[in-house]
């Protein structure tokens, strides 16, 4: 009877732990599908085309924008990132749940197009913890860490536009909160139109 799926949008500052949380959610709820974004940034070591991202040349990405093949797109840290619309459309037609792990600019575009999308902001417990995480990750130079911290300051101001905020202080606790959000959202009466009609 539950024919519709939810569109779950996860954002948050770099280093907040969005990727780990999304992965944990996907492991817990096998009925959720992750949208693979397109990007013009080069792959990092260990990243696989079609698994982590669809790695595209800039001209191909721009063609996708022109042809309206992206549900949303944004320029983040000097590269393009976007959500291919076809996958999301297919999943929605099949009534499946989809997660988009995208930046705040993209998330707000999705909310405009799909007001029922559920926007979840993942926040680090403090600015100090975020800095420590970015430093201990060891992937970015000090100047890049400063840039990410000032982006985080801007992103945090957008958190109030989201439906939920999950503080990722401890991963297991944060996963439970995220799962609770998904489960509660799936109990909205709008998802049960078939069941309701069945009684008329
Ligand atoms: P990274 O390069 O570290 O994988 O991602 C950089 C940022 O781009 C992250 O904040 C990530 O959430 C965001 N991002 C990844 N895919 C998309 C997308 O399809 N659309 C938008 N708007 N942002 C994305």
Please name the residue whose Cα sits nearest to atom 19 of ligand 1. Answer: 82
Where is 119: in which H helix or E strand? strand 118-123
Q: For residue 142, is pLDDT > 80?
A: yes
- What region, left, alpha or beta, does residue 77 occupy, with left being phi > 0 and alpha being psi -120 to 50 degrees? left
48 lies in a domain? no
167 lies in a domain? yes
- For residue 162, the domain's CATH number is 3.40.50.300
User: Ligand 1 mean position to 102 CA, how many Å?
Assistant: 5
Atom index in ligand 1 nearest the CA of residue 37 equals 19
62 lies in a domain? no
Atom index in ligand 1 nearest the CA of residue 77 equals 6
Query: What total of structural domains would you count in the chain?
Result: 1
Tell me what pLDDT residue 3 has.
65
Question: Distance between CA atoms of 71 and 66, rounded to whole angstroms?
Answer: 12
Question: Distance between CA atoms of 153 and 135, rounded to whole angstroms?
Answer: 17
Question: Distance between CA atoms of 125 and 123, rounded to whole angstroms?
Answer: 6
For residue 184, the enclosing domain spans 7-35+96-198
Determine the distance from the C-alpha atom of residue 118 to the mean position of all C-alpha atoms in its chain, rounded to a whole number. 10
Which residues have any ligand 1 atom within 6 Å of their CB? 14, 37, 41, 72, 74, 76, 81-83, 101-103, 105-106
41 lies in a domain? no
- Say whether pTM exceeds 0.75: yes
- Span 188-198, pLDDT tens digits: 998 888 899 99
């Amino acid at each position: 009877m539950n024919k519709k799926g939810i569109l779950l949008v996860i954002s948050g500052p770099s280093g907040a732990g969005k990727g780990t949380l999304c992965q944990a959610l996907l492991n817990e709820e096998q009925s959720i599908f992750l949208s693979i974004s397109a990007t013009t940034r080069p792959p990092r070591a260990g990243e696989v085309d079609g698994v982590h991202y669809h790695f595209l040349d800039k001209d191909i990405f721009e063609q996708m924008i022109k042809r309206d093949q992206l549900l949303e797109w944004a320029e983040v840290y000097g590269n393009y990132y976007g959500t291919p619309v076809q996958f999301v459309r297919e999943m929605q037609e099949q009534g499946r749940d989809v997660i988009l792990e995208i930046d705040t600019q993209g998330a707000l575009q999705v909310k405009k197009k799909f007001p029922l999308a559920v926007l979840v902001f993942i926040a680090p417990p403090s600015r100090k913890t975020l800095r420590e995480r970015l430093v201990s990750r060891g992937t970015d130079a000090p100047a890049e860490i400063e840039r990410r911290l000032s982006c985080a300051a801007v992103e945090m101001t957008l958190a109030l536009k989201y439906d939920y905020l999950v503080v990722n202080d401890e991963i297991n606790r944060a996963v439970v909160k995220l799962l609770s959000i998904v489960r509660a959202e799936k109990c909205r009466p709008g998802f049960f139109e078939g069941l309701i009609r069945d009684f008329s």
